[in-house]
Amino acid sequence: MQRALELARQGVGLTAPNPHVGAVVLDKQGQLAGEGFHTYDGLKHAEILAMEQAGGRARGGTLYLNLEPCSHQGRTAPCADAVIKAGIATVVAAMRDPNPQVSGRGFDKLQGAGIDVVEAVLRSEARKLNDWFAKYIRTKTPFVTLKAGMTLDGKIAPPAQVSLGPTAMGAAAAGSGWITSEEARAHAQTLRHANDAIMVGVGTIVADDPLLTDRSGLSRRKPLLRVILDSQLRLPLTSRVVASAQNDVLVICSMAEERRRQELEARGVQVEQVTLAPISISAPRSKKVKQMPVRRRTGTGKPIVEESRTSGDGRPDLRQVMRRLGELEITSVLIEGGALVNWAALAADVVDKIFLYYAPKILAGSGSVPFAAGGGFHQLSEAAQVKDIALHRFGIDFAVEGYIHDPYEETNVHRAN
């Protein structure tokens, strides 16, 4: 199963919107007979590739894979049928398929044909690897990771510096250097690689002029979509993001001046208008305005309840932005903030996971930029709770990874934006 997971990880960047799946076939004698992993363009599911490699040796053998074999006709025929046909005696799977079209039916098919099924081997590793898939396939909105690099005291930048040259762009980075180490920043590139889109506020572009590309050096099926929240289309035409746009930059605004829109579109930048976030006095969760719940039915016939939350800052409604990105088949979004965007995302409750890097430095001072600015939660009881914490070391830095929402939780479907 370790090997199956290792194979599945080779598909990162290559499988979305499909899950990361790796498979190993051992023959009757327990010898390695075949292995494979899924890529979207390769079409075939991991277990099919592994069984093809095993050929006749699959008969009476054991199939290890990190996801339940599928039972439905999708772009390919049901894998469970192929497993039965190949004469596999035992299937060891790490987890159930969160896809409502499968979810248990694959196992049922196998068991119905007399195959031994062993479930939940290395389950938590497997669930972590496909956390984004679980969210997307059940809600059709992307899995959102909030990433930031900061000092021990939670500052993402020193106080803004004034007049560092003819253009302010790049001034912050040039003036202050990096907070986190090279090791931490290299790891952050792997987060970019694992996501379909990266999201920042226009303030970050104006301050740092970042390129926002995936520089992990690993190949990916689709370019990383660079999403810029820019309510009034302030994005400088001279910024590196605009200069390098090749239909991989999407600007989300709330009011688009037609000439400005055309100028951006002429440079290969897509512009979308999204309605304003509902205005409220403040955004703490306990004060969220619960409007009449809207009931609709999911594909599985399960009723889900939608509730509106406010982010209350007059900027594009992030829940709606996420819905729109889901329609564009964006399965995962990495938010690389700016203090206001970080807060807006927390306030709108769209963040599923955090990945926060800490450098052993202290900036202090009320003028330096906090990780999340804005209104903040007003009570300890309202604070965003992070669960399933994992700690990582990167050189002299460390990082905290954890979940604000469990993408597998049944009730999670009910908050389906």
Q: Which does 226 bind (CB under 5 to 8 A by kind): ligand AOF, Zn ion, none?
A: none
Q: Least CB distance from residue 41 to ligand AOF, whole Å?
A: 11
From candidates 29, 30, 41, 75, binder to ligand AOF by CB under 6 A: 75
Beta-carbon contacts of residue 183 (< 8 Å; ≥ 6 apart): 394, 395, 397
Q: Which does 102 bind (CB under 5 to 8 A by kind): ligand AOF, Zn ion, none?
A: ligand AOF
Helix (H) or strand (E) run with residue 353 in it:
strand 353-359
Q: Least CB distance from residue 302 to Zn ion, whole Å?
A: 23
Q: Tokens for 401, please give them.
A: 């990874």
Residue with tokens 């001279």: 238
Q: Least CB distance from residue 86 to Zn ion, whole Å?
A: 13
Q: Which of 386, 382, 384 is nearest to 400 (CA)?
A: 386
Give the Cα-Cα-Cα angle 275, 280, 284 (nearest 5 degrees): 110
Q: Is 45 in the site for Zn ion (CB under 5 A)?
A: yes
**Quick check: 47 and 79 in contact, CB under 8 A?**
yes
Q: Least CB distance from residue 60 to ligand AOF, whole Å?
A: 22
Q: Which does 66 bind (CB under 5 to 8 A by kind): ligand AOF, Zn ion, none?
A: none
- Cis preceding-peptide flag for 17 (omega within 30 of 0): yes
Based on its alpha-carbon atoms, the radius of gyration of the chain, rounded to whole angstroms, reads: 23
Q: What character string, x for contact with ligand AOF (CB under 6 A) and - otherwise, covers 128-167? A: ---------x------------------------------
Q: What is the DSSP letter of 367?
A: S
From candidates 70, 88, 93, 241, binder to ligand AOF by CB under 6 A: 70
Residue range at the interface with ligand AOF (CB under 6 A); choices 95-103, 116-124, 379-387, 389-397: 95-103
Q: What character string, x for contact with Zn ion (CB under 5 A) and - otherwise, covers 65-94? A: -----x--------x---------------
From candidates 27, 35, 97, 336, binder to ligand AOF by CB under 6 A: 97
Q: CA 255 to CA 372: how far, in whole Å?
A: 25
Q: Which of 63, 108, 70 is nearest to 89 (CA)?
A: 63
Q: Is 104 in the site for ligand AOF (CB under 6 A)?
A: no
Per the annotation, the verdict on 119 as an active-site residue is no
Q: CA 168 to CA 390: how far, in whole Å?
A: 37
From candidates 88, 95, 102, 129, binder to ligand AOF by CB under 6 A: 102
**Quick check: 339 and 156 in contact, CB under 8 A?**
yes
Give the nearer residue to Zn ion in terms of CB position, either 79 or 335. 79
SS3 (DSSP) at 172: helix
SS3 (DSSP) at 207: helix
Query: Which of the following is catalytic: 47, 68, 336, 401?
Result: 47
Size, binding site for ligand AOF by CB under 6 A: 16
From candidates 12, 35, 62, 99, binder to ligand AOF by CB under 6 A: 99
Give the nearer residue to Zn ion in terms of CB position, either 54 or 334. 54
* One-character DSSP codes across 44-78: S-HHHHHHHHHGGGGTT-EEEESSPPP-S-SSS--
Q: What character string, x for contact with ligand AOF (CB under 6 A) and - otherwise, covers 18-37? A: xx-x----------------
Give the nearer residue to Zn ion in terms of CB position, either 72 or 414. 72
Give the nearer residue to Zn ion in terms of CB position, either 93 or 304. 93
Q: CA 146 to CA 206: how far, in whole Å?
A: 20
Q: Is 180 in the site for ligand AOF (CB under 6 A)?
A: no
Separation of first and last alpha carbons in the chain: 35
Beta-carbon contacts of residue 389 (< 8 Å; ≥ 6 apart): 400, 401, 402
Q: CA 68 to CA 55: how far, in whole Å?
A: 21
Helices 79-86 and 105-112, axial angle in degrees (round to 10): 20
Name the residue whose CB lies closest to ligand AOF.
74
SS3 (DSSP) at 25: strand
Give the nearer residue to Zn ion in terms of CB position, either 21 or 191. 21
From candidates 74, 159, 293, 367, binder to ligand AOF by CB under 6 A: 74
Contact positions vs ligand AOF (CB under 6 A): 18-19, 21, 38, 45-46, 67, 70, 74-76, 79, 97, 99, 102, 137
Residues designated as active site: 47
Q: Which residues bind Zn ion (CB under 5 A)?
A: 45, 70, 79
